[in-house]
Chains A and B, each alone.
Chain A
Amino acid sequence: GAVVSQHPSWVICKSGTSVKIECRSLDFQATTMFWYRQFPKQSLMLMATSNEGSKATYEQGVEKDKFLINHASLTLSTLTVTSAHPEDSSFYICSAIRQGEGETQYFGPGTRLLVL
């Protein structure tokens, strides 16, 4: 199968600090990675699409200066939540598309962020 990991799985931080979340495809090269956010009892909301070596494409309403995405290689994408506030507390999930496998997205286990 296609394994996607995320680190950390849990993070608690103070308001105003920045938090970096890593997303890695462990056994395949990912042409594209996606970042989602999910609030309790709601569905996944796409935040941005990330392609290796190029700037991320952000969805409408997502602040690119607040949610910094770096896709440094075909196996790693990072999301940095800058100056986090309590309203940023959420479940952040990444997904990846394996090269040559169409559009199927494989999801990481998610990172739960709590901003105090």
Chain B
Amino acid sequence: QKEVEQNSGPLSVPEGAIASLNCTYSDRGSQSFFWYRQYSGKSPELIMFIYSNGDKEDGRFTAQLNKASQYVSLLIRDSQPSDSATYLCAALNYGGATNKLIFGTGTLLAVQP
């Protein structure tokens, strides 16, 4: 069973702090990883993806990938109350006719004003 694991939280951080969201995956064959944000009652929206070891930055967001440890993380700098949402980590699973995303259960982030 290919799995993606996340701490369900809630992760509570004060406004302006750095929020660190973590994710581990079981399938060593996974090469690409995606972070989505999902507000309550809404569908997921893409934040960023990463496929190379190391860091990838996009604005206030930095994704980190360590394939040896099978670990992906998302850092949110200068956290804002509007960042409060569930963050979903997904690993791209290769196989069959079409590749598909395996989602974690998500981490609920609460940014306190």
Contact = CB atoms under 8 A, between A and B. Distances in A.
B103 A103 contact: no
Nearest to B93: A46
A107 B47 CA distance: 12
Interface residues of B, number: 21
Contacts of A34: 100-101
Nearest to B6: A43
A42 to B, nearest CB: 7
B101 A107 contact: no
A105 interface: yes
A51 interface: yes
B101 A46 contact: yes
A49 B88 CA distance: 20
A108 B43 contact: yes
- Interface majority SS (helix, strand, loop, mixed), chain A: strand
Contact of A104 (B42, B46, B103, B105): B46
A105 to B, nearest CB: 6
Contact of B100 (A46, A91, A106, A108): A46
A9 to B, nearest CB: 10
A32 B105 CA distance: 24
B98 A44 contact: no
A57 interface: yes
B34 interface: yes
B84 to A, nearest CB: 16
Contacts of A102: 32
B99 interface: yes
Interface of B: 32, 34, 36, 42-46, 49, 88, 92, 96-101, 103-106
